[in-house]
Structure 1
Amino acid sequence: MQKKPEGKAAFEELDNMKLSFKHIKIWYTAGMGFFTDAYDLFIIGAILDIFTVYKLPGFQLNPFYEGLLASSAIVTAIIGQLLFGFLADRIGRKKVYGVEASLLTAGAFLSGLSPNLAWLIAFRMIMGFGIGGDYPISATIMSEYSNVKDRGKLVALVFANQGIGTLVAVAVGAISAFTLPADIAWRVMAIVGGIPAATVIYLRRKVPETPRYAAMEQKKEDLGKSTKFMGVREENQVVIKRISFGQFISKYWKVLLGTAGTWFILDVAFYGTGVYSGPIVSSILGKPVNVGTEIVYAGIPFMVGFFGYFTAVGLMDKLGRKLIQIQGFLVMAIIYAIVSAVMISSGVKVIGFTIPVDLAFAIYALSYFFIDFGPNTTTFVIPAEIYPTSNRTTGHGISAAAGKTGAALTTYLFPLLLNEIGVKNILDILAVLSVIGVMLTYFTIKEPKLKNLEDVSEDRVEIQQEVK
């Protein structure tokens, strides 16, 4: 055996292949979990609206249980992100792929059948565990199967299923609230979110181990299956060196601070304003006449954000991840500061604006476009690229868990903050956090655009071939 010449890419055929149906199949297989994630982010707010207005037997809320119900799935998602991220680096992506989709599907269906609030919280915790596990594995599988030219848009496209999930959630929430009795409407809302994830459980179990992980474990049969699955031929014997967790932390701690810190900041804003979009929008536009209208009002910013997801997809491999993330955080900070500045408040209550209300609401809704055409997408994409193969799902899982920690804190505390400091001061806090996000991105994140995974992650690779 002898080493191949320096500079030869380890997975050259895979990196250079054109975008194909195989990539699209992996995208669909990987993306449906994120449909459920975003669907649940919006729909739990709609369910909370129903419980608050109709005070259904067994589902009556106080501030404590409202925060617990809103954050229960997020808390267990943190555990899922860490555990599945760790396992996928230790025993393989394939061995755990599909398990997380099964959990989130079961949790969604059972949530809709819950007899009381305690069971609903418990089943949502199961769903959250599955949603959490989906983050590091689906992102990494898409990344490790992608070609270099389209990797950013493909990983972003997996995440963009959140945009589709949000639109479906708005439609299902509004239609259910307008047409069904309250005790049936919320159950339909809960169950529908699990259907897309259920369609990919079988497909996930059939996806071969990724070529990068197979090369690291030196499993030639798995490597052959993965390259055959993609329709490429790899003549090289590729060996990717594993590094320990301690070595990973020692070498990548600064990058980890950047990916985890920016994701934490993003989710404080995204989940706080997302789950409680209804009360925030109502504070601007006024209280709607019924729950269905409130759901539609709350969904308007998400509809604006939908276009942000796909703008990010289209420009990810042109502008680069770092630039998109910086401009997103920067515009978020500006928008939060503007909306807060034009608010006229009395204590915690918003009583008017110095500009027309419709204009203030339009500016606020625009923040969702730049959240999604910005750090909401890039914080998902970047960790799937810049960490070494041996710790890629671990690094992604830690980063995602930091984000969900921010989401859990803000989701649980938001009802209290709305009552204690009001929307105006919350927006001021989010503006400051967004500026910190700009600084963290600039100083800690490196740009992976148009680089192969082995180069950008600084994996140690040996490429060998038989001497004839």
Structure 2
Amino acid sequence: MSNNPFKGIDNTKLNWNHIKIWYTAGMGFFTDAYDLLIISYILAVMIDAYKYYGFNMAGFTEYLIGNQATFWTGLLASSAIWTAIIGQLVFGYIGDRLGRKKVYGVEASLLTAGALLSALSPNLPLLILFRSIMGLGIGGDYPISATIMSEYSNVKDRGKLVALVFSNQALGSIAALIVGVVAALTLPPDIAWRVMAGFGAIPAATVIYLRRKVPETPRYSLIAKGDVEEAKKAAQFVGANLQVKDSLKAPNSSTKLNIMTFLRNYSLLLIGTAGTWFILDIAFYGTGVYSSSVITPIFGSPFSSTITSITEFQSELAKQLFIGGIPYLVGFPGYFTAVALIDKLGRKLIQVQGFIVMGILYGIVSLVLFQAGKSISFTIPATVAFILYSLTFFFIDFGANTTTFVIPSEVYPTKFRSTGHGISAASGKLGAAITTYLFPSLVASIGFRNIFVLLTAVSIIGAILTIVLIPEPKMKSLEDVAKEEIQTETESE
């Protein structure tokens, strides 16, 4: 677009304020990933403390044993995910309707409050309620943080910067592994799970103030609000000049957010960004939240049948939690491989190869796995099967887990950008919620082998949707990617 007023932003060099926005935006995703892994640890602490040591937690244990155990386990594991869907849709809409700045910081406050209240919960139903509050904050973080980072980024580094925001998930996963294992090893079970839950409040709390201070993005200020002065000041925040005259054509009625207009004009694109994210999170959350359930049958439970002391139980529990977190260690470099290559290889290629390799790995695991009741065996060494399973986490992260977050922040026009991202993210969390809630029942009804067959199929569908429906935003301005016409008079260069 020859008269694009945002050329100064697109061509600016990477600078300290880009990094500041990255940190401010990224801490929410640290908390999101921390929560994904830590809830599986919290469940393990509550259930295993009773199962292997007879440790009863009043207000909690009675819900997680007996006939209703599957229902309450699934609800606790998925409660934050269900409300994240609401947060993604609501904050995404508000971000386009009222501006990114208006709500930035609210989601971090919800994350902080939800995590703290979770740690203080007197019983399981209230823990579910407080985690639901946290889920609203997690959901709200997706469209607002992604959009703000995307709209402030230069073209050369945009993919890298938005992916770096998301890569805080890698750090959150490692933090959960460390906090979970140390708490389980050193604290009584009824204290350990509360420390695990409460720690998630810290990273979100550190950015509430910073988020309130981030200026409205220059693109939203100019295109949606028609405020030239605000847009120019925002551009200067990252050391750029906005190339637009002080006189501005008033935004016409089409710049107002209209959901029906959005759905009519971008339905196929939405199927691409939302559908691939839905498929990705089916795999990511199903194998993530219940990673210990997948891995324990491979290596066997570390718990002996003769645990006689709390110290022995703590040691065995910490060992099991660490084993369950190993796939996240394998996946960790996948995030940063994506960061390093996303502006070189492009979003589309990384997403397609990720889905394809995931499908191949899931397919191999399903072919070599045999299950009789709860007993699992392999036609190859169990260690090799474990490595193949763990590698799926690397290609999830060096693949669709990163790119499904980045792409919706680039392919929609300014007036619909956070809405498009919010709907896409909500679709992903819907897949996450469904698989998280149903996983225990699916294990019981169809077994692990058929679960991996299903994961193989959805991975291939994800690759096909990407090839057919996703455009490549690499090295293009946001306006060119979204084919967005800007009703402004630009300054002569």
TM-score range, shorter chain: over 0.9
Q: Map of 1:180-199 to 2, 5 A cutoff?
A: 180-199=187-206
1:13 aligns with 2:38: no
SS of the residue 1:464 aligns to: coil
SS of the residue 1:10 aligns to: coil
- Does the 8 Å CA contact 1:27/1:158 hold for their aligned counterparts? yes
1:376 aligns with 2:384: no
Aligned mate of 1:33, from 24, 28, 37: 28
TM-score w.r.t. the length of structure 2 is 0.92
Across the aligned residues of Structure 1 and Structure 2, the Cα RMSD in angstroms comes to 1.4
Unpaired segments ≥5 residues, structure 1: 1-5
CA distance in 2, matches of 1:116, 1:222: 48
Counterpart residue type for residue 4 of structure 2 = A
Instruction: Say if 1:171 and 1:465 are closer, same or farther in 2 by CA, change over 3 A.
Output: closer
SS of the residue 1:287 aligns to: coil
1:202 aligns with 2:202: no
Q: Map of 1:238-317 to 2, 5 A cutoff?
A: 242=255, 244-289=258-303, 290-317=316-343
Q: List per-residue Cα deviations over 1:408-462 (Å, max 9, x = no partner).
A: 0000001111111111111110000001001111100000000000010111213
SS of the residue 2:487 aligns to: strand
CA distance in 1, matches of 2:397, 2:231: 35
Shift of 1:465: 4.4
Equivalent in the alignment of 2:308: none
Q: List per-residue Cα deviations over 1:175-200 (Å, max 9, x = no partner).
A: 00011000110000001111011000
Equivalent in the alignment of 1:224: 232
Shift of 1:246: 2.3
Which deviates the most, 349-358 or 209-218? 349-358
Q: Map of 1:114-133 to 2, 5 A cutoff?
A: 114-133=121-140
- Does the 8 Å CA contact 2:5/2:243 hold for their aligned counterparts? no
CA distance in 1, matches of 2:84, 2:483: 29
Equivalent in the alignment of 1:326: 352
CA distance in 1, matches of 2:449, 2:491: 68
Counterpart residue type for residue 279 of structure 1 = S
Instruction: Say if 1:328 and 1:466 are closer, same or farther in 2 by CA, change over 3 A.
Output: closer
- Does the 8 Å CA contact 2:243/2:490 hold for their aligned counterparts? yes
CA distance in 2, matches of 1:415, 1:214: 47
Equivalent in the alignment of 1:167: 174
Instruction: Say if 1:8 and 1:287 are closer, same or farther in 2 by CA, change over 3 A.
Output: same
Counterpart residue type for residue 453 of structure 2 = D
SS of the residue 1:311 aligns to: helix
Equivalent in the alignment of 2:380: 355
1:99 aligns with 2:113: no
Instruction: Say if 1:419 and 1:466 are closer, same or farther in 2 by CA, change over 3 A.
Output: closer
Unpaired segments ≥5 residues, structure 2: 51-56, 304-315
Shift of 1:466: 6.7
Tell me the number of residue pairs that the alignment of Structure 1 and Structure 2 aligns: 462
Instruction: Say if 1:28 and 1:102 are closer, same or farther in 2 by CA, change over 3 A.
Output: same
Q: Map of 1:35-54 to 2, 5 A cutoff?
A: 35-54=30-49
CA distance in 2, matches of 1:445, 1:364: 28
CA distance in 2, matches of 1:451, 1:235: 18
Equivalent in the alignment of 1:429: 454
TM-score w.r.t. the length of structure 1 is 0.97
Counterpart residue type for residue 274 of structure 1 = G
Shift of 1:334: 0.4
Question: Identity of paired residues, percent?
Answer: 61
CA distance in 1, matches of 2:458, 2:232: 47
CA distance in 2, matches of 1:291, 1:100: 33
- Does the 8 Å CA contact 1:77/1:132 hold for their aligned counterparts? yes
1:405 aligns with 2:430: yes
- Does the 8 Å CA contact 1:343/1:350 hold for their aligned counterparts? no
Equivalent in the alignment of 1:3: none
SS of the residue 2:489 aligns to: strand
CA distance in 1, matches of 2:490, 2:195: 57
SS of the residue 1:233 aligns to: coil
Which aligned segments of 4 or more residues in structure 1 are displaced greater than 2 angstroms?
237-241, 243-247
Shift of 1:293: 1.0
Shift of 1:63: 0.8
Shift of 1:7: 1.5
SS of the residue 2:395 aligns to: helix
CA distance in 2, matches of 1:70, 1:225: 44
